[in-house]
Amino acid sequence: MMSLSSTVVVKKYLIYSAIVLMSTAVIVYVTLRYCYPLHYFSSFPWIPVLFYVYGVGFIGIFEKVRQAGKKDLLIVYLGNVVARFIFFLCIWVGIMLSESMHRIDFVLTSCVFYFFIVIFETLFFVSYERRKRRVNNQKIKENE
């Protein structure tokens, strides 16, 4: 029988999130460094770190809600998407108001990371919901 224990979900999320962010970072780094060297900026390595730290906080909140027995985790996921957008929008506006030479490069690069992480989280939580539904259906069949 499949297991959807809390530690398995958290570990999978953190590992897959790290893989997605690292692979995106390598692709964007190579593109910026070698194809557009004038657009590379020194704060580039902080972008994936910022997204990963936000993801760690989110998966902690997700697990607390899940352990509390809430059934509708879709609301938590959608709330995360909105909160993430507002959080990074504030960062983007703050960067754009600064006098940094690479502010547009920072915003565009972080937008690339934002879209990749939103796509990853959507696929991750859709697969999570499918597994949860499959486990619930198996439990119902076993009880019959």
In this structure, which amino acid lies at residue 66?
R
The per-residue pLDDT for range 112-133, each reduced to its tens digit, is 899 999 999 999 988 888 888 8
Whether the pLDDT of residue 103 is over 70: the answer is yes
The per-residue pLDDT for range 63-81, each reduced to its tens digit, is 888 888 777 788 888 888 8
Whether the pLDDT of residue 85 is over 50: the answer is yes
DSSP 70-118: -S-HHHHHHHHHHHHHHHHHHHHHHHHHS--TTHHHHHHHHHHHHHHHH
Q: Distance between CA atoms of 94 and 140, rounded to whole angstroms?
A: 51
Looking at residue 37, what DSSP letter applies?
G
The whole-number pLDDT of residue 5 equals 64
CA 92 to chain centre: 17
Check: CB of residue 13 under 8 Å from CB of residue 124: yes
Whether the pLDDT of residue 57 is over 60: the answer is yes
